[in-house]
Amino acid sequence: MKLALYRKYRPTRFSDVVGQEDIITALRNQVAAGRTGHAYLFTGVRGTGKTTLARMLAKAVNCPNTKDGEPCGECEICRGIDNGSVLDVTEIDAASNNRVDDVRDLLDETSYTPAMCNMRVYIVDEVHMLTMQAFNALLKTLEEPPQHVMFILATTEVQKVPATILSRCQRFDFKRIPEDMIADRVRYVAVREGISITEEASSLIARLSDGALRDALSLLDTCASLDTNVDEEVVKRLAGVTDREYLFDLADRIRERDITGALGIVSELYNNSMDPVRLLPEMIRHYRNLLMVRVGQVTLNDCSAAMQKRYEEVSREYDETEILDCLDVLSDASDRMARSLDREITLELAIISLAGGRTGRQAAGPVRKTEEKIGRKEAKKEDKKQTAPRNTGVPEETGISEPDAAEKKEPEETATSPEPDNTEESGAAEERGEKLLDRWDDCVAEIRERNRTLGALLKNSAAHITDTHLLIEANPMAIKFIRDNEESRTIIKEAVAQIAGLKLPVGPWHGNSEKKEIKDDDGFEEFLRKAQEAGVEVERE
């Protein structure tokens, strides 16, 4: 039977491994100095060499002809470990042998001395799959194993491994292999196999592998089975929708408010076997990359240099608030998709909402405004039912209050507030003892230097000051972000103290008392229907 390329070209020596230089150096130095540990934990994403290096370490500690920590690869022990005939080196798949009885059987074997090697080595793959009882059974032996026993644990989900296990192991974190190294390795294997491959195709395979060399060689194997002349089109055909260009096209249709074009792209992706569960996270990742580049992050970890440049060019066409609005809609859709019976419809509704102008700087956000207005009306009803004195609206020093809660405390609702002057907003502010902070723009600039995301959220905001508080006037998303993030409030306080010389607790600005009538629009009827379905009583003015 034909051997898969990733198995055929699996490294057998430390010097053959790519992308994990620091780990290789550390392990070779330990072997050369005779200071190897009794328990190791290898963690990292799939296909980065965890099991391969575990086998090499098993060879290195048992090979009689090591040189500078490198096993010879020619002796009986090295060849036996490679082909699996040496019984002193045991590989266990914890995904299928995860019970406490399986671990106890393994521990019973540790009392026996090696048959032909210096040490008995147990390689436990996907160790996070062990049950808690199995982990507990492993603890004592893992901490103080016999002198002739070594454990090497490998996992892709280290967060699931108990801290008691982690503390007993030397931990090595495997990095994603850089794309240029993967592309070079793909071309090397292609030449050895007589496969003609273009540089563009090898680069695309490397990008699609997401840092996993095994995935790259598996994709090369698949492409070579179709055509020994592998170019970029062959890779795209066999890997389905693989290029990120469709994400840029979809985002362009959304910005142009082209609902038909956006849904057409989504339909085409469905026809090419793109699942909504996969597409939605990719869209979120796409807008996240745009935001990171827009606010100044230098490097995107999941992109090639060419794709990074593309993101930098496209991000100039966006405003931070516009990207945040898109992420808000897509995140809500992701939450609903987990509970939805028809995920395709959930994604399409999110696309329609984005392309229909319900978010972004080009849209007024009528649905969101309607939600806020209805929330205020419901709050007024609740206040009328209560006999307790009304809140004066001064925010607590412990944090910033909910935007809707702030609206419930509008001055005209208090028993002592005078009838508002609808013609002079500044006059109403003076009656509440407020005044605008003249240097707020400078404060926002300082905030942006300290935290770019927070600075972007406070763009086009304003600040009012009283004798006791700094009241921020901003969009609901910014208010919620500041309320939920204590570090953000601290940054604001420090920036205002530095620029304006004021040290005040942060609260939301309640706005003037001017009553505004809801104007019917395309979004109100839809929101009204959703409110009724949810059992919320809504009054139309």
Q: Could you report the per-residue pLDDT of 397-429, keeping only the tens digit for each?
A: 444 544 444 443 443 333 333 333 333 344 444
Residue 395, pLDDT score: 47
**Which residues, in sequence order, are CB contacts of 415 under 8 Å at separation 6+?**
389, 390
Q: Could you report the per-residue pLDDT of 64-89, keeping only the tens digit for each?
A: 888 888 898 888 888 898 888 888 89
How many whole angstroms separate alpha carbon 463 and alpha carbon 471?
A: 6
**What's the whole-number average pLDDT of the chain?**
78
Side chain identity, residue 266: V
The order of strands in the sheet holding 435-436 is 435-436, 462-465, 470-473, 506-508
**Which residues, in sequence order, are CB contacts of 374 under 8 Å at separation 6+?**
527, 531, 536, 538
How sure is the predictor about 54, in pLDDT bands with cuts at 50, 70 and 90?
A: very high
Q: Which residues pair with 151 in a beta bridge?
A: 39, 122
DSSP state of 469: -
Burial of 382 per CB tally in 10 Å (0-12, 13-18, 19+): exposed
Structure tokens at 234: 């062959």
Average pLDDT of 320-333? 89
How many whole angstroms separate alpha carbon 249 and alpha carbon 266?
A: 10
Q: Could you report the per-residue pLDDT of 214-258, keeping only the tens digit for each?
A: 989 998 988 888 878 888 888 877 775 445 788 899 999 998 888
Pairing of strands 470-473, 506-508: parallel
Average pLDDT of 382-408? 45
User: Is 90's pLDDT higher than 80?
Assistant: yes
Nearest in space to 158 (alpha carbons), one of 248, 60, 42: 42
Q: Report pTM.
A: 0.55
DSSP state of 432: T
Nearest in space to 69 (alpha carbons), one of 17, 34, 42, 20: 34
**Token pair 């009553």 is at which residue?**
515
How sure is the predictor about 209, in pLDDT bands with cuts at 50, 70 and 90?
A: confident
User: Which has the higher per-residue pLDDT, 2 or 29?
Assistant: 29
How many whole angstroms separate alpha carbon 82 and alpha carbon 73?
A: 9
How many whole angstroms separate alpha carbon 301 and alpha carbon 431?
A: 53
What does 288-356 look like in DSSP terms, one character per residue?
HHHHHHHTT----TTS-HHHHHHHHHHHTT--HHHHHHHHHHHHHHHHHHTT-S-HHHHHHHHHHHHHT
Q: How far is CA 361 from the centre of its chain?
A: 25
Residue 128, pLDDT score: 92
User: Which has the higher per-residue pLDDT, 404 or 205?
Assistant: 205
Contact criterion met (CB below 8 Å) for 514 and 425: yes
User: Is 271's pLDDT higher than 90?
Assistant: no
Average pLDDT of 148-175? 91
Virtual torsion, Cα 217, 219, 223, 224, nearest 10 deg: 20
Which region, left, alpha or beta, applies to residue 44 given φ > 0 means left and ψ of -120 to 50 means alpha? Answer: left
Main-chain phi, psi angles of 501, to 5 degrees:
70, 25
User: For the chain, give me the number of helices (H) and strands (E)?
Assistant: 25, 11
How many whole angstroms separate alpha carbon 143 and alpha carbon 18?
A: 31
What percent of the chain stands above pLDDT 90?
Answer: 13
**Which residues, in sequence order, are CB contacts of 501 under 8 Å at separation 6+?**
none
Q: Which domains does the chain have, with CATH numbers?
A: 5-173 (3.40.50.300), 179-238 (1.10.8.60), 245-355 (1.20.272.10), 398-408+429-513 (3.30.300.180)
Residue 533, pLDDT score: 61
How sure is the predictor about 456, in pLDDT bands with cuts at 50, 70 and 90?
A: confident
In the chain the first and final C-alpha atoms are separated, in Å, by 76
Contact criterion met (CB below 8 Å) for 281 and 265: no
User: Is 432's pLDDT higher than 60?
Assistant: no
Side chain identity, residue 531: A
Between the CA of residue 187 and those of 196, 206, 240, what are the distances in Å? 9, 10, 22
How sure is the predictor about 396, in pLDDT bands with cuts at 50, 70 and 90?
A: very low
